[in-house]
């Protein structure tokens, strides 16, 4: 079962992602002012989640349906240079550890 087929789940998810947009925008603005660089896993998650919310809001505001907005937002996060570089680094480190052991 696709969870988005449930109207209450779909509405709640949309509300959650749109309500947090402004606080996330404020958070990211401040972090950028402080020279934030997502170099650790927690900081990369904060950056990726923030980017996801901002992109979802952008796409849904353009009238794009919810599922497509979610998919496009995910694609934007995954192709962002900071995130793709971080993920590549993590994969490389994991491979290095497994080869050494």
What pLDDT, on the 0 to 100 scale, is given for residue 8?
Answer: 93
What pLDDT, on the 0 to 100 scale, is given for residue 89?
Answer: 79
Has residue 1 got a pLDDT over 60? no
Condensed to tens digits (0 to 9), the pLDDT of residues 5-15 reads 889 999 999 99
What pLDDT, on the 0 to 100 scale, is given for residue 62?
Answer: 97
3-state DSSP helix/strand/coil % of the chain, to nearest 5: 85, 0, 15
Smallest CA-to-CA distance from 7 within 66, 58, 72, 57 is with 66
What pLDDT, on the 0 to 100 scale, is given for residue 3?
Answer: 76
Query: Which residue's entry shows tokens 């401040």?
Result: 30
Condensed to tens digits (0 to 9), the pLDDT of residues 31-68 reads 989 998 888 888 889 999 999 999 999 999 999 999 99
Percent of the chain with pLDDT over 90: 59
């Amino acid at each position: 079962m696709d969870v988005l087929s449930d109207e209450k789940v779909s509405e709640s998810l949309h509300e959650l992602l749109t309500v947090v947009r402004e606080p996330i925008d404020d958070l990211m603005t401040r972090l950028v002012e402080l020279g934030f660089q997502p170099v650790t896993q927690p900081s990369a998650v904060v950056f990726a989640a923030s980017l996801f919310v901002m992109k979802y809001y952008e796409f849904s505001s353009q009238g794009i349906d919810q599922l497509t907005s979610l998919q496009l937002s995910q694609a934007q996060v995954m192709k962002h240079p900071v995130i793709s570089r971080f993920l590549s680094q993590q994969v490389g480190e994991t491979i290095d550890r497994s080869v050494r052991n």
